[in-house]
Amino acid sequence: MVTSRSAAAARPGAASLRRRGPVLERAILEATLDQLGSVGWNGLTMEGVAVGAQTGKAAVYRRWPSKQDLVADALRAGLPTLDEASDLGSVREDLYEVCRRLRDVMYSKPGLALRAVLHECDAESAARFHSLIVTGVVEPSARLFRAVLRRGIARGEVRADADDDLVVDVIPAMMMYRSKVCVSEWVDREIADLVDRIMVPLLRP
């Protein structure tokens, strides 16, 4: 004989539907990142996120009234913290290490989700994410590069006027452009070429 309890346990997703609070919210945010990485901004729906999180769409709408609100929270929770730049003894090695870290962020689940947002959403939606992108990506990466440049200046490896906004933007701009337009995967060899052929000559006193 099948009891009501055993029948409920046998239904797919029955246990997940009973999740509450932070556990359910984390599942929804993870499903949002998964959806952005697989179907992109335009293909993401609240219903699709609910299916991915194995919950009802009402649970999603209760917490996030709009797609923009949901995606903003998912990115905010998922983007990794960029710690201090390692001091490996030379500007070349320091830049190489920072570039590899940025590459890993770009191809992480939150990184792929962010790229879907950047490249697909309309101007009105993009404005919603502007401050998040600045505080979560632009400013932390710029801080890492500036730390490397200032150490290089102090060691005499880098010209004194290289701590400049345009110089700081070169690597992120190159990595984003070639990743999106040229479909570059930024393997270690390509990162080394970027540092050795562009950045080191640009920074040399």
Q: Write down the domain spans for the chain.
A: 4-77, 79-203
pLDDT at residue 6, as a whole number: 41
**87-113 mean pLDDT:** 93
Phi, psi of 96, rounded to the nearest 5 degrees: -60, -45
pLDDT in the model for residue 19: 64
For the chain, the helix, strand and coil percentages under 3-state DSSP, each to the nearest 5: 75, 0, 25
Report the CATH number of the 79-203 domain. Answer: 1.10.357.10
Q: Give per-residue pLDDT as tens, 82-96.
A: 888 889 999 999 999
pTM (2 decimals)? 0.80
Phi/psi for 53 (5° steps) reads -85, 0
Residue 9 in this model has a pLDDT that exceeds 70:
no
CATH topology identical between 4-77 and 79-203: yes
Distance CA 120, CA 144 (A): 28
Q: Is the pLDDT of residue 10 over 80?
A: no
Mean pLDDT rounded to a whole number for the chain: 87
Architecture per CATH, domain 4-77, reads as Orthogonal Bundle (1.10)
Closest to 69 measured CA to CA, from 18, 111, 32, 17: 32
Listed residue (180, 174, 70) closest to 119, CA to CA: 180
CA distances for 137 relative to 11, 130, 132, 167, 205, angstroms: 41, 10, 8, 17, 29
Give per-residue pLDDT as tens, 39-70. Answer: 999 999 999 999 999 999 999 999 999 999 99
* Residue count (the chain): 205
Report the candidate in 13, 7, 10, 108 with the shortest Cα–Cα distance to residue 52.
13
Q: Which of 71-80, 120-129, 143-152 has the lowest mean pLDDT?
A: 120-129
